[in-house]
Amino acid sequence: MADYVAPTRELSFVVNELLDYERLNGLPAFADAGEDLTAAILEEAGKFAGEVLGPINRVGDQQGVRIEGDEVITPEGFTDAYKLFVENQWLSLAQDPEYGGQGLPFLVHLAAAEMWNSACTSFALCPMLTAGGIDALAAHASDAIKTRYLPNLITGHWSATMNLTEPHAGSDLSTLKTRAEPEGDHYRLRGQKIYITWGEHPMAENILHIVLAPMIDAPPGNKGLSLFLVPKFLVNEDGSLGERNDLRVVSTEHKLGIHASPTCVMSFGENEGAIGYLIGEPGDGLACMFTLMNHARLEVGLQGVALSERAYQDAVAYARERVQGRNVENGESANIIQHPDVQRMLMTMKSLTEAMRGLTYDGAWSHDLRIHGADADERRHFDERFALLTPVVKAWCTELVNEVTSLGIQVHGGMGFIEETGVAQHYRDARITSIYEGTNGIQANDLVGRKILRDQGAAMGSYLGEVLETATRLEKDAALKSIGSRLRQAADDLQHATRFVVDSASGQPKLVGAVAYNFLMMMGYVAGGWYMARAAEKSQAALAAGDNEFYRRKLKSASFYFSQLLPRYRGYMDAVTGGADIGMALTAEDF
Protein backbone atom coordinates (compact mmCIF):
# COMPACT_ATOMS: atom_id res chain seq x y z
CA MET A 1 0.00 0.00 0.00
CA ALA A 2 1.45 3.35 -1.05
CA ASP A 3 1.47 6.30 1.33
CA TYR A 4 -1.56 8.50 0.88
CA VAL A 5 -0.80 11.83 -0.78
CA ALA A 6 -3.55 14.42 -0.44
CA PRO A 7 -4.68 15.55 -3.94
CA THR A 8 -4.79 19.21 -2.93
CA ARG A 9 -4.27 20.48 -6.49
CA GLU A 10 -7.26 18.46 -7.66
CA LEU A 11 -9.41 19.64 -4.76
CA SER A 12 -8.43 23.24 -5.42
CA PHE A 13 -9.46 22.84 -9.06
CA VAL A 14 -12.92 21.55 -8.10
CA VAL A 15 -13.51 24.15 -5.38
CA ASN A 16 -12.14 27.20 -7.18
CA GLU A 17 -12.50 26.47 -10.89
CA LEU A 18 -15.13 23.81 -11.49
CA LEU A 19 -17.44 25.39 -8.90
CA ASP A 20 -17.88 29.11 -8.36
CA TYR A 21 -16.20 29.52 -4.98
CA GLU A 22 -16.16 33.30 -5.42
CA ARG A 23 -19.94 33.19 -5.29
CA LEU A 24 -19.72 31.73 -1.78
CA ASN A 25 -16.96 34.10 -0.75
CA GLY A 26 -19.14 36.98 -1.91
CA LEU A 27 -21.90 36.12 0.57
CA PRO A 28 -21.87 38.01 3.91
CA ALA A 29 -21.61 34.77 5.88
CA PHE A 30 -18.37 33.82 4.10
CA ALA A 31 -16.82 37.22 3.46
CA ASP A 32 -13.63 36.24 5.30
CA ALA A 33 -13.33 32.83 3.65
CA GLY A 34 -11.13 33.86 0.75
CA GLU A 35 -9.30 31.56 -1.65
CA ASP A 36 -5.94 31.98 0.11
CA LEU A 37 -7.39 31.03 3.50
CA THR A 38 -9.19 28.05 1.99
CA ALA A 39 -6.02 26.88 0.25
CA ALA A 40 -4.04 27.09 3.50
CA ILE A 41 -6.70 25.12 5.38
CA LEU A 42 -6.86 22.36 2.79
CA GLU A 43 -3.08 22.14 2.66
CA GLU A 44 -2.95 21.59 6.42
CA ALA A 45 -5.88 19.17 6.32
CA GLY A 46 -3.99 17.18 3.72
CA LYS A 47 -0.90 17.07 5.89
CA PHE A 48 -2.97 15.89 8.85
CA ALA A 49 -4.51 13.19 6.69
CA GLY A 50 -1.18 11.95 5.36
CA GLU A 51 0.95 12.28 8.47
CA VAL A 52 -1.49 11.47 11.28
CA LEU A 53 -4.37 9.42 9.87
CA GLY A 54 -2.64 7.55 7.08
CA PRO A 55 -0.28 5.61 9.39
CA ILE A 56 -3.13 4.30 11.59
CA ASN A 57 -5.29 3.04 8.74
CA ARG A 58 -3.55 -0.31 8.28
CA VAL A 59 -3.06 -0.75 12.02
CA GLY A 60 -6.75 -0.17 12.59
CA ASP A 61 -7.71 -2.74 9.96
CA GLN A 62 -5.44 -5.38 11.47
CA GLN A 63 -6.17 -4.76 15.16
CA GLY A 64 -9.83 -3.82 14.97
CA VAL A 65 -11.72 -2.99 18.14
CA ARG A 66 -12.52 -5.14 21.12
CA ILE A 67 -14.91 -4.86 24.03
CA GLU A 68 -13.90 -5.19 27.66
CA GLY A 69 -16.84 -4.94 30.04
CA ASP A 70 -18.62 -1.69 29.27
CA GLU A 71 -15.68 -0.26 27.35
CA VAL A 72 -14.59 -0.44 23.73
CA ILE A 73 -10.84 -0.55 23.14
CA THR A 74 -9.78 1.19 19.93
CA PRO A 75 -6.68 0.30 17.88
CA GLU A 76 -3.24 1.65 18.64
CA GLY A 77 -2.82 5.31 17.75
CA PHE A 78 -6.49 6.22 17.40
CA THR A 79 -6.87 8.06 20.70
CA ASP A 80 -3.72 10.10 20.06
CA ALA A 81 -4.89 10.92 16.53
CA TYR A 82 -8.27 12.04 17.85
CA LYS A 83 -6.60 14.25 20.45
CA LEU A 84 -4.66 15.99 17.67
CA PHE A 85 -7.86 16.25 15.62
CA VAL A 86 -9.51 18.11 18.50
CA GLU A 87 -6.48 20.29 19.21
CA ASN A 88 -6.41 21.39 15.57
CA GLN A 89 -10.14 22.24 15.72
CA TRP A 90 -10.83 20.37 12.48
CA LEU A 91 -14.46 19.65 13.25
CA SER A 92 -15.25 23.33 13.78
CA LEU A 93 -14.46 24.44 10.21
CA ALA A 94 -18.01 24.92 8.95
CA GLN A 95 -19.77 25.33 12.31
CA ASP A 96 -21.65 28.32 13.73
CA PRO A 97 -19.29 30.89 15.32
CA GLU A 98 -21.93 31.51 18.00
CA TYR A 99 -21.04 28.12 19.49
CA GLY A 100 -17.33 28.14 18.73
CA GLY A 101 -17.24 27.27 15.04
CA GLN A 102 -15.13 28.93 12.36
CA GLY A 103 -18.05 29.74 10.07
CA LEU A 104 -16.46 28.51 6.81
CA PRO A 105 -18.48 27.05 3.93
CA PHE A 106 -19.58 23.44 4.22
CA LEU A 107 -17.77 22.93 0.91
CA VAL A 108 -14.46 23.55 2.69
CA HIS A 109 -15.33 21.02 5.39
CA LEU A 110 -16.28 18.47 2.73
CA ALA A 111 -12.96 18.88 0.90
CA ALA A 112 -11.05 18.38 4.15
CA ALA A 113 -13.23 15.41 5.07
CA GLU A 114 -12.46 13.74 1.75
CA MET A 115 -8.79 13.64 2.68
CA TRP A 116 -9.53 12.28 6.16
CA ASN A 117 -11.71 9.54 4.69
CA SER A 118 -9.07 8.62 2.12
CA ALA A 119 -6.44 8.37 4.82
CA CYS A 120 -8.55 6.41 7.33
CA THR A 121 -12.26 5.94 6.78
CA SER A 122 -12.79 4.19 10.10
CA PHE A 123 -11.47 7.21 11.99
CA ALA A 124 -13.32 9.76 9.85
CA LEU A 125 -16.67 8.12 10.61
CA CYS A 126 -16.53 9.41 14.19
CA PRO A 127 -16.37 13.16 13.42
CA MET A 128 -18.73 12.64 10.46
CA LEU A 129 -21.52 11.48 12.75
CA THR A 130 -20.71 14.22 15.24
CA ALA A 131 -21.09 16.81 12.49
CA GLY A 132 -24.48 15.33 11.62
CA GLY A 133 -25.50 15.46 15.26
CA ILE A 134 -24.50 19.12 15.37
CA ASP A 135 -26.73 19.78 12.36
CA ALA A 136 -29.70 18.07 14.03
CA LEU A 137 -29.32 19.99 17.29
CA ALA A 138 -28.68 23.31 15.55
CA ALA A 139 -31.81 22.92 13.42
CA HIS A 140 -34.26 21.47 15.93
CA ALA A 141 -33.12 21.61 19.57
CA SER A 142 -34.10 24.22 22.13
CA ASP A 143 -31.76 27.10 22.88
CA ALA A 144 -31.00 25.54 26.26
CA ILE A 145 -29.86 22.28 24.67
CA LYS A 146 -27.82 24.13 22.05
CA THR A 147 -26.04 26.20 24.68
CA ARG A 148 -25.26 23.19 26.84
CA TYR A 149 -24.17 20.70 24.20
CA LEU A 150 -23.11 22.35 20.94
CA PRO A 151 -19.82 23.97 22.06
CA ASN A 152 -18.26 20.67 23.15
CA LEU A 153 -19.55 18.88 20.07
CA ILE A 154 -18.09 21.53 17.80
CA THR A 155 -14.67 21.26 19.43
CA GLY A 156 -14.87 17.48 19.20
CA HIS A 157 -14.37 17.00 22.94
CA TRP A 158 -17.72 15.24 22.79
CA SER A 159 -18.89 13.01 19.94
CA ALA A 160 -22.36 12.09 18.69
CA THR A 161 -24.08 9.02 17.29
CA MET A 162 -27.23 8.19 15.35
CA ASN A 163 -29.54 5.54 16.87
CA LEU A 164 -32.26 4.32 14.52
CA THR A 165 -32.11 0.62 13.79
CA GLU A 166 -33.35 -2.14 16.09
CA PRO A 167 -32.84 -5.91 15.71
CA HIS A 168 -36.34 -6.49 14.31
CA ALA A 169 -36.87 -3.22 12.44
CA GLY A 170 -34.15 -2.58 9.85
CA SER A 171 -35.24 0.31 7.66
CA ASP A 172 -38.87 0.08 8.80
CA LEU A 173 -38.73 2.63 11.60
CA SER A 174 -42.47 2.49 12.19
CA THR A 175 -42.04 -0.71 14.23
CA LEU A 176 -39.48 0.55 16.75
CA LYS A 177 -39.85 -0.91 20.25
CA THR A 178 -37.60 1.45 22.22
CA ARG A 179 -39.88 3.65 24.32
CA ALA A 180 -39.57 7.05 26.02
CA GLU A 181 -41.57 7.87 29.15
CA PRO A 182 -41.95 11.50 30.28
CA GLU A 183 -40.54 12.43 33.69
CA GLY A 184 -40.45 16.12 34.58
CA ASP A 185 -38.24 18.03 32.15
CA HIS A 186 -36.79 14.85 30.63
CA TYR A 187 -37.69 11.34 29.52
CA ARG A 188 -36.67 7.82 30.51
CA LEU A 189 -35.73 5.63 27.56
CA ARG A 190 -35.70 1.84 27.50
CA GLY A 191 -34.78 -0.36 24.58
CA GLN A 192 -31.98 -1.58 22.35
CA LYS A 193 -30.40 -0.18 19.19
CA ILE A 194 -28.05 -1.90 16.76
CA TYR A 195 -25.46 -0.80 14.17
CA ILE A 196 -24.48 2.25 16.22
CA THR A 197 -21.27 3.57 14.68
CA TRP A 198 -18.80 4.75 17.33
CA GLY A 199 -21.49 4.09 19.94
CA GLU A 200 -18.87 3.59 22.61
CA HIS A 201 -15.19 4.56 22.62
CA PRO A 202 -12.56 6.20 24.84
CA MET A 203 -11.51 9.03 22.51
CA ALA A 204 -14.11 11.67 23.46
CA GLU A 205 -14.99 12.81 26.97
CA ASN A 206 -18.71 12.28 26.41
CA ILE A 207 -20.88 10.61 23.76
CA LEU A 208 -24.27 12.08 22.87
CA HIS A 209 -26.67 9.53 21.45
CA ILE A 210 -29.32 10.91 19.10
CA VAL A 211 -32.12 8.35 19.56
CA LEU A 212 -35.28 7.90 17.53
CA ALA A 213 -38.11 6.39 19.57
CA PRO A 214 -41.85 6.71 20.21
CA MET A 215 -43.22 7.92 23.50
CA ILE A 216 -45.20 5.53 25.68
CA ASP A 217 -48.58 6.79 24.46
CA ALA A 218 -47.56 7.73 20.89
CA PRO A 219 -49.73 6.67 17.94
CA PRO A 220 -48.36 3.81 15.84
CA GLY A 221 -46.26 4.40 12.75
CA ASN A 222 -43.79 7.07 11.73
CA LYS A 223 -46.00 9.90 13.00
CA GLY A 224 -45.51 8.67 16.54
CA LEU A 225 -41.72 8.91 16.50
CA SER A 226 -39.79 11.54 18.46
CA LEU A 227 -36.11 12.36 18.72
CA PHE A 228 -34.10 12.41 21.94
CA LEU A 229 -30.64 13.43 23.11
CA VAL A 230 -29.31 10.75 25.46
CA PRO A 231 -25.81 11.53 26.82
CA LYS A 232 -23.41 8.88 28.04
CA PHE A 233 -22.62 11.15 30.99
CA LEU A 234 -25.24 13.56 32.26
CA VAL A 235 -24.25 17.21 32.08
CA ASN A 236 -24.52 19.47 35.12
CA GLU A 237 -25.87 23.02 35.10
CA ASP A 238 -22.33 24.42 34.99
CA GLY A 239 -21.43 22.28 31.98
CA SER A 240 -19.33 19.76 33.89
CA LEU A 241 -19.90 16.04 33.49
CA GLY A 242 -22.09 14.29 36.04
CA GLU A 243 -22.99 10.68 36.65
CA ARG A 244 -23.05 7.90 34.08
CA ASN A 245 -26.40 7.54 32.33
CA ASP A 246 -28.24 4.24 32.25
CA LEU A 247 -26.93 3.03 28.90
CA ARG A 248 -24.19 0.66 27.88
CA VAL A 249 -22.60 -1.12 24.97
CA VAL A 250 -23.66 -4.77 24.78
CA SER A 251 -21.39 -5.95 21.97
CA THR A 252 -19.57 -4.87 18.82
CA GLU A 253 -20.05 -6.41 15.39
CA HIS A 254 -17.41 -8.39 13.50
CA LYS A 255 -17.49 -6.90 10.02
CA LEU A 256 -16.19 -7.26 6.48
CA GLY A 257 -14.47 -3.86 6.65
CA ILE A 258 -14.04 -0.62 8.63
CA HIS A 259 -12.64 -2.80 11.40
CA ALA A 260 -11.38 0.14 13.45
CA SER A 261 -14.82 1.76 13.64
CA PRO A 262 -16.83 0.16 16.47
CA THR A 263 -20.31 -0.84 15.33
CA CYS A 264 -22.17 -1.26 18.60
CA VAL A 265 -25.27 -2.83 20.05
CA MET A 266 -26.46 -0.26 22.60
CA SER A 267 -28.80 -0.94 25.50
CA PHE A 268 -30.78 1.92 27.04
CA GLY A 269 -32.47 1.76 30.43
CA GLU A 270 -31.68 -1.68 31.81
CA ASN A 271 -32.07 -0.26 35.34
CA GLU A 272 -33.80 3.03 36.18
CA GLY A 273 -34.07 4.15 32.55
CA ALA A 274 -31.73 6.27 30.43
CA ILE A 275 -32.36 10.00 30.78
CA GLY A 276 -33.00 11.76 27.49
CA TYR A 277 -34.08 15.21 26.32
CA LEU A 278 -36.58 15.90 23.56
CA ILE A 279 -35.23 17.39 20.32
CA GLY A 280 -37.89 19.30 18.43
CA GLU A 281 -41.58 18.60 18.94
CA PRO A 282 -43.24 15.30 19.90
CA GLY A 283 -43.97 13.27 16.77
CA ASP A 284 -41.47 15.19 14.64
CA GLY A 285 -38.65 12.73 15.25
CA LEU A 286 -38.30 11.44 11.74
CA ALA A 287 -38.26 14.93 10.23
CA CYS A 288 -35.61 16.00 12.77
CA MET A 289 -33.57 12.86 12.18
CA PHE A 290 -33.54 13.48 8.43
CA THR A 291 -31.43 16.59 9.05
CA LEU A 292 -28.75 14.29 10.45
CA MET A 293 -29.34 11.61 7.84
CA ASN A 294 -29.08 13.97 4.87
CA HIS A 295 -25.74 15.22 6.20
CA ALA A 296 -24.61 11.62 6.64
CA ARG A 297 -25.80 10.63 3.16
CA LEU A 298 -23.77 13.37 1.54
CA GLU A 299 -20.68 12.37 3.50
CA VAL A 300 -21.19 8.67 2.77
CA GLY A 301 -21.19 9.58 -0.91
CA LEU A 302 -17.96 11.42 -0.12
CA GLN A 303 -16.56 8.19 1.31
CA GLY A 304 -17.11 6.69 -2.12
CA VAL A 305 -15.01 9.48 -3.63
CA ALA A 306 -12.34 9.21 -0.93
CA LEU A 307 -11.87 5.45 -1.10
CA SER A 308 -11.83 5.60 -4.89
CA GLU A 309 -9.05 8.19 -4.75
CA ARG A 310 -7.07 6.03 -2.31
CA ALA A 311 -7.51 2.90 -4.42
CA TYR A 312 -6.44 4.82 -7.53
CA GLN A 313 -3.31 6.16 -5.88
CA ASP A 314 -2.26 2.67 -4.79
CA ALA A 315 -3.00 1.19 -8.21
CA VAL A 316 -1.00 3.85 -10.08
CA ALA A 317 1.97 3.48 -7.73
CA TYR A 318 2.00 -0.30 -8.17
CA ALA A 319 1.55 -0.11 -11.95
CA ARG A 320 4.54 2.22 -12.25
CA GLU A 321 6.78 -0.22 -10.37
CA ARG A 322 5.54 -3.67 -11.41
CA VAL A 323 7.49 -5.10 -14.38
CA GLN A 324 5.67 -7.74 -16.37
CA GLY A 325 5.34 -8.55 -20.08
CA ARG A 326 6.59 -6.46 -22.94
CA ASN A 327 5.66 -3.15 -24.45
CA VAL A 328 3.50 -3.87 -27.53
CA GLU A 329 5.07 -0.97 -29.42
CA ASN A 330 8.79 -1.72 -29.00
CA GLY A 331 8.96 -5.24 -27.55
CA GLU A 332 10.97 -4.15 -24.52
CA SER A 333 10.34 -5.26 -20.95
CA ALA A 334 7.53 -3.11 -19.57
CA ASN A 335 6.10 -1.74 -16.39
CA ILE A 336 2.45 -2.74 -16.42
CA ILE A 337 1.35 0.91 -16.64
CA GLN A 338 2.45 0.69 -20.29
CA HIS A 339 -0.12 -2.02 -21.11
CA PRO A 340 -3.32 -0.74 -22.79
CA ASP A 341 -5.67 -2.77 -20.60
CA VAL A 342 -4.01 -1.57 -17.40
CA GLN A 343 -4.22 1.97 -18.75
CA ARG A 344 -7.94 1.37 -19.37
CA MET A 345 -8.46 0.28 -15.77
CA LEU A 346 -6.46 3.15 -14.32
CA MET A 347 -8.21 5.77 -16.44
CA THR A 348 -11.59 4.27 -15.54
CA MET A 349 -10.69 4.67 -11.87
CA LYS A 350 -9.41 8.20 -12.40
CA SER A 351 -12.30 9.45 -14.54
CA LEU A 352 -15.01 7.98 -12.35
CA THR A 353 -13.41 9.44 -9.24
CA GLU A 354 -13.25 12.90 -10.80
CA ALA A 355 -16.87 12.71 -11.94
CA MET A 356 -17.99 11.58 -8.49
CA ARG A 357 -16.02 14.38 -6.87
CA GLY A 358 -17.64 17.02 -9.07
CA LEU A 359 -21.13 15.76 -8.23
CA THR A 360 -20.46 15.48 -4.50
CA TYR A 361 -18.85 18.88 -4.18
CA ASP A 362 -21.73 20.43 -6.10
CA GLY A 363 -24.00 18.93 -3.45
CA ALA A 364 -21.98 20.71 -0.74
CA TRP A 365 -21.88 23.96 -2.74
CA SER A 366 -25.66 23.78 -3.16
CA HIS A 367 -26.04 23.18 0.58
CA ASP A 368 -24.11 26.37 1.35
CA LEU A 369 -26.31 28.37 -1.01
CA ARG A 370 -29.55 26.85 0.27
CA ILE A 371 -28.66 28.14 3.74
CA HIS A 372 -26.78 31.37 3.00
CA GLY A 373 -28.03 32.38 -0.45
CA ALA A 374 -28.44 36.05 -1.23
CA ASP A 375 -32.25 36.01 -1.31
CA ALA A 376 -35.25 33.74 -0.81
CA ASP A 377 -35.45 32.72 -4.46
CA GLU A 378 -31.82 31.67 -4.55
CA ARG A 379 -32.17 29.74 -1.31
CA ARG A 380 -35.29 27.99 -2.59
CA HIS A 381 -33.59 27.08 -5.87
CA PHE A 382 -30.60 25.52 -4.18
CA ASP A 383 -32.73 23.80 -1.56
CA GLU A 384 -34.42 21.98 -4.45
CA ARG A 385 -31.04 21.31 -6.08
CA PHE A 386 -29.61 19.90 -2.85
CA ALA A 387 -32.64 17.63 -2.36
CA LEU A 388 -32.35 16.37 -5.94
CA LEU A 389 -28.63 15.66 -5.75
CA THR A 390 -28.38 14.08 -2.27
CA PRO A 391 -29.68 10.58 -3.14
CA VAL A 392 -27.60 10.55 -6.32
CA VAL A 393 -24.44 11.56 -4.46
CA LYS A 394 -25.01 8.87 -1.88
CA ALA A 395 -26.01 6.03 -4.19
CA TRP A 396 -24.11 6.63 -7.44
CA CYS A 397 -20.80 7.29 -5.71
CA THR A 398 -21.13 4.27 -3.45
CA GLU A 399 -22.10 2.00 -6.31
CA LEU A 400 -19.05 3.13 -8.27
CA VAL A 401 -16.61 2.86 -5.37
CA ASN A 402 -17.21 -0.87 -5.38
CA GLU A 403 -16.15 -0.95 -9.03
CA VAL A 404 -13.16 1.35 -8.54
CA THR A 405 -11.76 -0.45 -5.50
CA SER A 406 -12.29 -3.78 -7.27
CA LEU A 407 -10.32 -2.45 -10.25
CA GLY A 408 -7.60 -1.45 -7.80
CA ILE A 409 -7.27 -5.10 -6.81
CA GLN A 410 -7.32 -6.16 -10.47
CA VAL A 411 -4.45 -3.82 -11.35
CA HIS A 412 -2.40 -5.48 -8.62
CA GLY A 413 -3.17 -8.89 -10.08
CA GLY A 414 -2.66 -11.79 -7.68
CA MET A 415 -0.97 -9.49 -5.20
CA GLY A 416 -4.21 -7.56 -4.91
CA PHE A 417 -5.86 -10.64 -3.46
CA ILE A 418 -3.19 -10.86 -0.78
CA GLU A 419 -3.97 -8.87 2.36
CA GLU A 420 -0.31 -7.96 2.79
CA THR A 421 -0.53 -5.35 0.02
CA GLY A 422 -3.37 -3.54 1.83
CA VAL A 423 -5.42 -2.81 -1.30
CA ALA A 424 -8.11 -5.31 -0.37
CA GLN A 425 -8.86 -3.14 2.67
CA HIS A 426 -10.18 -0.36 0.42
CA TYR A 427 -12.53 -2.87 -1.24
CA ARG A 428 -13.72 -4.21 2.11
CA ASP A 429 -14.08 -0.77 3.68
CA ALA A 430 -16.05 0.50 0.69
CA ARG A 431 -18.63 -2.29 0.63
CA ILE A 432 -20.70 -0.91 3.50
CA THR A 433 -21.16 2.50 1.87
CA SER A 434 -23.93 1.32 -0.45
CA ILE A 435 -25.75 -0.20 2.54
CA TYR A 436 -25.67 2.17 5.49
CA GLU A 437 -27.44 5.53 5.81
CA GLY A 438 -30.24 4.07 3.69
CA THR A 439 -29.46 1.39 1.13
CA ASN A 440 -29.02 2.51 -2.44
CA GLY A 441 -32.41 1.05 -3.29
CA ILE A 442 -33.92 3.39 -0.71
CA GLN A 443 -31.99 6.31 -2.22
CA ALA A 444 -33.26 5.44 -5.69
CA ASN A 445 -36.85 5.25 -4.47
CA ASP A 446 -36.38 8.61 -2.76
CA LEU A 447 -35.06 10.17 -5.96
CA VAL A 448 -37.91 8.94 -8.15
CA GLY A 449 -40.78 8.65 -5.68
CA ARG A 450 -40.20 11.90 -3.82
CA LYS A 451 -37.86 14.20 -5.71
CA ILE A 452 -39.03 13.55 -9.29
CA LEU A 453 -42.74 12.82 -8.85
CA ARG A 454 -43.36 15.37 -6.11
CA ASP A 455 -42.65 18.35 -8.39
CA GLN A 456 -43.36 16.49 -11.66
CA GLY A 457 -39.73 16.76 -12.72
CA ALA A 458 -39.39 20.55 -12.25
CA ALA A 459 -36.12 20.48 -10.27
CA MET A 460 -34.68 18.00 -12.74
CA GLY A 461 -35.72 20.27 -15.60
CA SER A 462 -33.95 23.22 -14.00
CA TYR A 463 -30.81 21.13 -13.48
CA LEU A 464 -30.82 19.84 -17.05
CA GLY A 465 -31.32 23.39 -18.31
CA GLU A 466 -27.90 24.26 -16.89
CA VAL A 467 -26.42 21.10 -18.38
CA LEU A 468 -27.69 22.12 -21.80
CA GLU A 469 -26.23 25.61 -21.43
CA THR A 470 -22.82 23.99 -20.99
CA ALA A 471 -23.43 21.73 -23.98
CA THR A 472 -24.31 24.74 -26.14
CA ARG A 473 -21.06 26.52 -25.25
CA LEU A 474 -18.95 23.45 -25.93
CA GLU A 475 -20.60 22.78 -29.27
CA LYS A 476 -19.29 26.18 -30.44
CA ASP A 477 -15.70 25.22 -29.54
CA ALA A 478 -14.03 23.16 -32.26
CA ALA A 479 -11.83 21.33 -29.75
CA LEU A 480 -14.77 20.41 -27.49
CA LYS A 481 -17.59 20.04 -29.99
CA SER A 482 -17.77 16.27 -29.64
CA ILE A 483 -18.05 16.47 -25.85
CA GLY A 484 -20.73 19.13 -26.16
CA SER A 485 -22.86 17.12 -28.58
CA ARG A 486 -22.59 13.97 -26.46
CA LEU A 487 -23.53 15.93 -23.36
CA ARG A 488 -26.57 17.39 -25.14
CA GLN A 489 -27.76 13.95 -26.23
CA ALA A 490 -27.33 12.58 -22.71
CA ALA A 491 -29.26 15.49 -21.17
CA ASP A 492 -32.06 15.11 -23.71
CA ASP A 493 -32.27 11.38 -22.98
CA LEU A 494 -32.41 11.98 -19.22
CA GLN A 495 -35.22 14.49 -19.75
CA HIS A 496 -37.04 11.88 -21.85
CA ALA A 497 -36.64 9.26 -19.11
CA THR A 498 -37.90 11.76 -16.55
CA ARG A 499 -41.02 12.45 -18.61
CA PHE A 500 -41.57 8.71 -19.01
CA VAL A 501 -41.52 8.23 -15.23
CA VAL A 502 -43.77 11.22 -14.55
CA ASP A 503 -46.28 10.21 -17.22
CA SER A 504 -46.32 6.50 -16.33
CA ALA A 505 -46.39 6.51 -12.52
CA SER A 506 -50.08 7.30 -12.04
CA GLY A 507 -52.05 4.16 -11.17
CA GLN A 508 -48.98 1.91 -11.25
CA PRO A 509 -47.74 1.59 -7.66
CA LYS A 510 -44.86 -0.75 -8.57
CA LEU A 511 -43.41 1.49 -11.27
CA VAL A 512 -41.23 3.57 -8.95
CA GLY A 513 -39.55 0.54 -7.44
CA ALA A 514 -39.19 -1.14 -10.82
CA VAL A 515 -37.33 1.73 -12.48
CA ALA A 516 -35.77 3.67 -9.58
CA TYR A 517 -32.31 2.09 -9.44
CA ASN A 518 -31.75 2.28 -13.18
CA PHE A 519 -33.03 5.85 -13.30
CA LEU A 520 -30.66 6.91 -10.51
CA MET A 521 -27.68 5.27 -12.20
CA MET A 522 -28.59 6.93 -15.49
CA MET A 523 -28.78 10.31 -13.79
CA GLY A 524 -25.45 9.70 -12.07
CA TYR A 525 -23.60 9.09 -15.33
CA VAL A 526 -25.24 12.05 -17.07
CA ALA A 527 -24.58 14.36 -14.11
CA GLY A 528 -21.01 13.09 -13.95
CA GLY A 529 -20.72 13.98 -17.62
CA TRP A 530 -21.71 17.57 -16.87
CA TYR A 531 -18.92 18.03 -14.33
CA MET A 532 -16.40 16.36 -16.62
CA ALA A 533 -17.51 18.61 -19.51
CA ARG A 534 -17.03 21.68 -17.33
CA ALA A 535 -13.61 20.38 -16.32
CA ALA A 536 -12.74 19.95 -19.99
CA GLU A 537 -13.87 23.51 -20.72
CA LYS A 538 -11.72 24.95 -17.92
CA SER A 539 -8.75 22.80 -18.93
CA GLN A 540 -8.98 23.71 -22.60
CA ALA A 541 -8.98 27.41 -21.72
CA ALA A 542 -5.97 26.96 -19.45
CA LEU A 543 -4.05 25.02 -22.10
CA ALA A 544 -4.76 27.73 -24.64
CA ALA A 545 -2.87 30.10 -22.35
CA GLY A 546 0.14 27.80 -22.04
CA ASP A 547 1.08 24.14 -21.65
CA ASN A 548 0.30 22.66 -18.25
CA GLU A 549 0.55 18.98 -17.36
CA PHE A 550 -2.28 19.13 -14.82
CA TYR A 551 -4.79 20.49 -17.35
CA ARG A 552 -3.57 18.16 -20.07
CA ARG A 553 -4.35 15.21 -17.83
CA LYS A 554 -7.72 16.68 -16.91
CA LEU A 555 -8.65 17.01 -20.56
CA LYS A 556 -7.56 13.44 -21.28
CA SER A 557 -9.61 12.15 -18.35
CA ALA A 558 -12.71 14.02 -19.54
CA SER A 559 -12.29 12.68 -23.07
CA PHE A 560 -12.02 9.14 -21.72
CA TYR A 561 -15.18 9.61 -19.65
CA PHE A 562 -17.21 10.76 -22.64
CA SER A 563 -15.98 8.04 -24.97
CA GLN A 564 -15.93 5.03 -22.62
CA LEU A 565 -17.98 5.74 -19.49
CA LEU A 566 -20.82 8.11 -20.35
CA PRO A 567 -22.28 5.59 -22.86
CA ARG A 568 -23.19 3.37 -19.92
CA TYR A 569 -26.21 5.60 -19.26
CA ARG A 570 -27.93 4.28 -22.37
CA GLY A 571 -28.28 0.80 -20.93
CA TYR A 572 -29.85 2.22 -17.79
CA MET A 573 -32.17 4.38 -19.91
CA ASP A 574 -33.33 1.34 -21.88
CA ALA A 575 -34.01 -0.48 -18.60
CA VAL A 576 -36.16 2.46 -17.44
CA THR A 577 -38.17 3.18 -20.58
CA GLY A 578 -38.21 -0.34 -22.00
CA GLY A 579 -37.89 -2.58 -18.96
CA ALA A 580 -40.49 -1.20 -16.55
CA ASP A 581 -43.17 -3.70 -17.58
CA ILE A 582 -41.17 -6.81 -16.71
CA GLY A 583 -40.03 -5.19 -13.47
CA MET A 584 -43.63 -4.51 -12.44
CA ALA A 585 -44.75 -7.99 -13.50
CA LEU A 586 -42.38 -9.84 -11.17
CA THR A 587 -43.89 -11.63 -8.18
CA ALA A 588 -42.48 -13.55 -5.23
CA GLU A 589 -43.35 -16.79 -7.02
CA ASP A 590 -40.88 -15.99 -9.83
CA PHE A 591 -37.87 -16.78 -7.63
H/E stretch holding 268: strand 263-268
Backbone phi, psi, residue 141, to 5° = -80, 160
Distance between first and last Cα of the chain: 42
166 to each of 178, 213, 268, 587, how far by Cα in Å?
8, 10, 12, 28
Check: CB of residue 487 under 8 Å from CB of residue 470.
yes
Check: CB of residue 288 under 8 Å from CB of residue 140.
yes
- DSSP SS3 for 454: helix
To the query of whether residue 437 is one of the catalytic residues in this protein, the response is yes
Catalytic residue among 43, 437, 469, 537: 437
Report which of 356, 322, 354 is spatially closest to residue 337, judged by C-alpha positions.
Answer: 322
- DSSP SS3 for 244: strand
359 to each of 19, 125, 257, 348, 551, how far by Cα in Å?
10, 21, 26, 17, 19
Contacts of 63 (CB under 8 A, 6+ apart): 75, 76, 259, 260
Measured in whole angstroms, the distance separating CA 148 from the mean position of its chain's CA atoms is 28
Report which of 512, 517, 488 is spatially closest to residue 501, judged by C-alpha positions.
Answer: 512
Check: CB of residue 425 under 8 Å from CB of residue 58.
yes
Check: CB of residue 329 under 8 Å from CB of residue 445.
no
Which residue type is seen at 486?
A: R
**What are the DSSP E strand ranges found in 71-185?**
71-73, 158-163, 179-183
Please identify every residue annotated as catalytic: 437
